[in-house]
Every structure is written in structure tokens, then in C-alpha cells.
Amino acid sequence: MQGSGEPSDPFKAQLDQALKEGYAWLRFSPSLEAAYQRDKAPERRRTLERGGLWLVVMFNLLLVTDWMMVPDQMGLAIGLRVFFFTGINIVGLLLSDYFTPRWREWSVVGMSVLAATINVVLCLNSTDHLAPPYLIALVMVLLFNGSIVRTPFWKALLIDALVIGMFFGSLFLLEAPQWNVMLSLSLILVSTAFFTLYSSYVLEHEDRTNWLMQGQEHQLVQALNRANHQLERLSRSDALTGLANRRHFDEFLAQLWQRARQSGRAIALLMMDVDHFKAYNDRYGHPQGDTCLRQLGAVLRRQLRRPGDLVARFGGEEFVAVLHDAPLPEAMAAAERVRLGVQELALPHEDAPGSRQVTLSVGVSSCAPQRVASPEALIAAADAALYQAKSQGRNRVVATVPEAPLEALP
């Protein structure tokens, strides 16, 4: 909803309260009413602009009625309808951009009263015997507001009250009206006012109800989207370290691989494993082991932070990083930064031979996708390099180049 802005609990509570308590007086709380009016303003403006065009046509068509019932006032009728009223209406349409929604609604009240006044003036100035029944033309004002422009109930009530007041006031100014005819016309006028007001009330109440229900649906959809987004994020994240998980890594590498096949740029893979981590868990316990992995994850985030790269927990004490547009020397330098970053943590590991602290072994591989059959080949090469790093004494970086299939060799 445009008026509601970002979904919030207080706004939702107001929606729920309005639906629960009702709004028989067709008013919400101030903030909710303001949101409703903002949301409805564009649609309401279009309705009023179309209504203004219809008003020009319909009001001038009443010249036919003027000619038939108050022919002695045709000159005045043309002046008031064609030049005065139509001119004001057209100017209002041209300047509608400068009107606030509130003033547009009040302009409807003003134009309605002005239209009724013109009909009354023509009636009272005419000496034709059909002049008194001519007052029935006031019904057109009520019908126009109730159907064409769908004036809000309270303003429609004000217009109808003024028009009916003008009708009965005119009865006392007419000379020898036929009271049986005029009373019948008054019944028609009052009945029309009652039915159009009833219709205005029901339509506005339904419109407000629909707006509240749409607001609730909007809130629920956004809450569901946030929950789904959160679930999606959790499904792609490792709960312990906050890094990407294996699923996210697989999807990311597959997408990056497809893009790199078109661009020809190299993709590098860093396969990292915590040295002697089983011994660390056995000595310090699994909770401390989890803390260690979280700290190492933080080091990886600090050292590998280029936009477009991905760091993930591959499984257990093993991590992996995907670097886009990274030739082997650049990937080797990034791997060495990570290794040194872990070493600088100086986490004690009494069961680690030689170093007596937590260290990391890294296997690195880099290739252009056109020369390697699949992402799995790149992973296998990085894994083989990691195996070599372990075999050569751990706490080191080793690199290999994936083997190209025969058809890719020059």
C-alpha cells in the first residue's frame, strides 16, 4: 500500500483494530485516515477529472430543459451555463495539479452548490407557468454526486442538505406554486437524496473495508516474504560460522563457471583445512572447537573480502573460497594472507606437533573454464593441492593446475 510505507507492527495493529471495532462514522484513526487518503488520492483524482468533463457536457445539455420550461430565461441560462459555470469548471480542471486532495473534494461541494444555485436563479426569475416544476432539475445535482463522482458520504450529505434547503426555500419565494405538484417533486427530491446517500455510505464503507483488508494482505505477504528470505538465507548459510554453506558454494561456483566460460577469465579455488583439528577437539572439547572454527571464519572474511568472491564452510573443519578473475599468482597471495592471518591468531594447540598452535593448510588451483571440463575438476585439483600441503608438513600453501582434457589441449 502506498500510504503505509514499510510494514510495521503499529500500522498492522491499527488495521486490525479498525476491522475489529468498525468505522460506522467512516473515519479511521488520524494516521490510518491519512494513509487511506494518500492511497486513494490518485484514483480519486482521476474520478474527479472524468467527472469534471462529464459535468461540462451534462450541465450544458440542461439548456434543452431551460428552453422547454423557462424559455424567457434562455439568455441568462446561456450566460450562466456556457460561459460562467463551464468556464469555472474548465479552469478548475486545468489547475487541478495545484489542488491538494482535500481542496479537490471541497471544490466538488462548491461546484455542486453553484450548479444548484444557477437552477434556482433561473426558476425564480422566470414567469413561465412551468418554472416551479423546473426546480426538479436539482435532482441532477444529487444524482451526479452519487453516481458519477461518488462524492464521500459526509460531503455528499452536506451537498444534499444544502440543495434540499434551497428547494424548500425557493417554494416560499415562488408566486402561487401548485402545491400538489411541488409536494410531489419534494418527495422525489428527498427520496433521491436518501437513496444516493445510502448508496454513498455503503460504497464508501465497502471501499474502506477493502482497503483495510488489502492492507492486512499486504502486511502478511511482506511478513511471509521476510520469513522466506530469512529461511533462504539460513538455508545458504552455515549456522556455526556465518559463512556460506556447501549448497550455496555449489550454486555459486556453477553460476560463476558459466559466466567465466563466456568472459574467459580465470577462476581460483582455495581449499583450506585446519591442521590436527581432531586432536584439538579431543583435547579442548567440541564447544571450544566450535569457537575455534568461528574465529577462523572471521579471519577468512577479513582476508578474502573482494566483492564477488565467496567464502564457505565446506564441511567439518574444511573451508573453501572461490575467487573470480584470479590467476594463480594472485590466488596464491590470497591463500598466504589467510594462512598468516590464522597463524597470527596464535590460538593454543598443545597437541599440534612443532607449532603448538592452530594452523591452516591451503590448496590452491586456478584455471580458465574453457580449458577445464567442469567445476569438479577445479575442486579436485584444489583438493589434491591441499593433500600435498598436508603431506609436506602442514601450515603451508601448495598450488596445482587442473589437467585439461585432451580436446582442450592446443
Q: Which residue do the cell numbers 460531503 mark?
A: 155
Catalytic residue among 49, 206, 217, 317: 317
Query: Has 317 been annotated as catalytic?
Result: yes
Are 160 and 196 a contacting pair, CB within 8 Å?
yes
Contacts of 214 (CB under 8 A, 6+ apart): 1
Q: Is 291 exposed, middle or buried (0-12, 13-18, 19+ CB in 10 A)?
A: middle
Phi and psi torsions of 364, nearest 5°: -125, 140
**DSSP symbols for 188-218:** HHHHHHHHHHHHHHHHHHHHHHHHHHHHHHH
Where does 125-276 show beta strands of DSSP type E?
Answer: 267-274
Distance CA 381, CA 371 (A): 13
Are 361 and 272 a contacting pair, CB within 8 Å?
yes
For the chain, state the CA radius of gyration: 40
| Residues acting as catalytic residues | 317
